[in-house]
Amino acid sequence: MPTAEAAAPVVPPLSILTESEREIAENVHQFAAETIGPRSLAMDLANRMDPELVRQFFELDLMGIEIPEEFGGLGQNFTTSIAVIEALARVDAACAVCVDVQNTLVDNAVLRWASPELKAKYLPQLAKQKVGAYALSEAESGSDAFALKTRAEKKGDRWVLNGGKLWITNGLEAELFLVFANVDFAKGYKGITAFVVESGWKGFTKGKKEDKLGIRASSTLALAFEDLEVPEENVLGKVGEGYKIAIETLNEGRIGIGAQMLGVARAALDYSAKYVQTRVQFGKPISEFQAIQHELARMDMELECARLAVYNAARLKEAGRPFAREGAIAKLKASEVAEYCTSKGLELLGGYGYVREYPLEKMYRDAKIGKIYEGTSYMQLSTIAKDVLKRNA
């Protein structure tokens, strides 16, 4: 049985990454194969991330990739974050999610929107010791993100939050949360405001951890706020700007989801390609049958298209150019390709693909979430369609 560790390093084409970005991705993949790989299945079965791995993510500066060195971060660019996420997902999608949310959502939002004082206080913590989480979704606020009911009321020099959140990734490990609440429901979405919240404050409660189909080691849970007092200086950006912060950070986060799905798809393709060269039927390896070769070729083609979409969106973001459409395409295409490659890979393994002894079963489960979180595929299609109609009005 071939091993995931034996697969070639996950490195996009030379035209996509610089030498520095490529080197970092290679080193992260090597770390993941050696350190995460042997624990991946056990974490999946236990429905829990190994705390030692989270500690190592901080030691390797993987939790503060874009945070400037003056705040303890790695001081790299957005594309480096994307390459790291892909490299981790090649070995374990749940670990990639942990690093992805920290970098593309939490770190990114604080870097872009926080006051100098908030940056000085929280960026060193996010870079070196504290996991962050992004708390937007609610029971009635999913795709309709701005239908949230969590309320924030001003009392003196503090805001008092009441309400709750659902589906919060990194919720178990996180100590810092970006929480979105409405300060004036009469203003609709223009009342939404973002707050930096510490989980240790009175009135902050973590709910049960969800028992999920895939990315099981990644924690997902509910939050509750009861008269939670937040200092006025912990408003992220300006009061009423929360909707803008949410839209823009999620646009960036979708590129991260695309990178996750690239890693899962590449792992499925590489494992399948090795397996079919060892599986003998009718007196020869099944890799010699044209039908099998064509399946691998189509998987590789689809993966390459998805990779180009993801890194194109990353470069546009980096250059300060509009990328909402390209980010939607990246997430949509990569999530579809991940589902396709893991499904085909599982079929190529036959009965072995359906059991946990072989990794395709886990990859197949991990891939499904790509079409759901940080904006469903339907929402990505709507974003793309709006752009098409606008261009042709």
Three-state secondary structure of 246-259: HHHHHHHHHHHHHH
User: If you average pLDDT over every residue of the chain, what do you get?
Assistant: 95
% of the chain surpassing 70 pLDDT: 96
Catalytic residue among 295, 302, 336, 374: 374
At which residue do the structure tokens 């979180």 appear?
Answer: 373
Quick: pLDDT tens for 184-238: 999 999 999 999 999 999 999 999 999 999 999 999 999 999 999 999 999 999 9
Confidence (pLDDT) at 15: 61
Query: Which region among 9-18, 271-280, 314-323, 362-371 has the lowest average model confidence (pLDDT)?
Result: 9-18
Tell me: pLDDT of 390 over 50: yes
Contact 362, 41 (CB under 8 A): yes
Quick: pLDDT tens for 71-106: 999 999 999 999 999 999 999 999 999 999 999 999
Three-state secondary structure call for residue 221: strand
Tell me: pLDDT of 274 over 80: yes
Find the helix packing angle between 324-348 and 242-276, rounded to 10°.
30
CATH topology of domain 133-240: Butyryl-CoA Dehydrogenase, subunit A; domain 2 (2.40.110)
Quick: pLDDT tens for 41-58: 999 999 999 999 999 999
Cβ-Cβ contacts under 8 Å for 17 (sequence gap 6 or more): 11, 25, 79, 83, 311
Task: Examine the residue annotation and report whether 374 is marked as an active-site residue of this protein.
Answer: yes
CA torsion 114→120→123→128, rounded to 10°?
-170
Three-state secondary structure call for residue 382: helix
Grade residue 241 by pLDDT with cuts at 50, 70 and 90.
very high
Identity at 313, one-letter amino acid code: A
Task: Confirm or reject CATH 1.25.40.10 for domain 243-391, answering yes or no.
Answer: no
Domain boundaries, the chain: 4-130, 133-240, 243-391
Cβ-based neighbour number of residue 70 at 10 Å? 11
Confidence (pLDDT) at 12: 45
Confidence (pLDDT) at 16: 86
Q: List the beta bridge partners of residue 152.
A: 161
Grade residue 5 by pLDDT with cuts at 50, 70 and 90.
very low
Cβ-Cβ contacts under 8 Å for 8 (sequence gap 6 or more): 270
Confidence (pLDDT) at 324: 97
**Which CATH architecture fits 4-130?**
Orthogonal Bundle (1.10)
**Using alpha carbons only, what angle is made at residue 129 by residues 126 and 133, rounded to the nearest 5 degrees?**
50
Q: How many Cα neighbours within 13 Å face the side chain of 269?
A: 27
Quick: pLDDT tens for 216-226: 999 999 999 99
User: What would the mean pLDDT of 50-71 be, rounded to a whole number?
Assistant: 98
User: What would the mean pLDDT of 131-138 be, rounded to a whole number?
Assistant: 97
Confidence (pLDDT) at 142: 86
Confidence (pLDDT) at 115: 98
Burial of 380 (0-12, 13-18, 19+ CB in 10 A): buried
Burial of 179 (0-12, 13-18, 19+ CB in 10 A): buried
Cβ-based neighbour number of residue 378 at 10 Å? 11
Confidence (pLDDT) at 7: 43
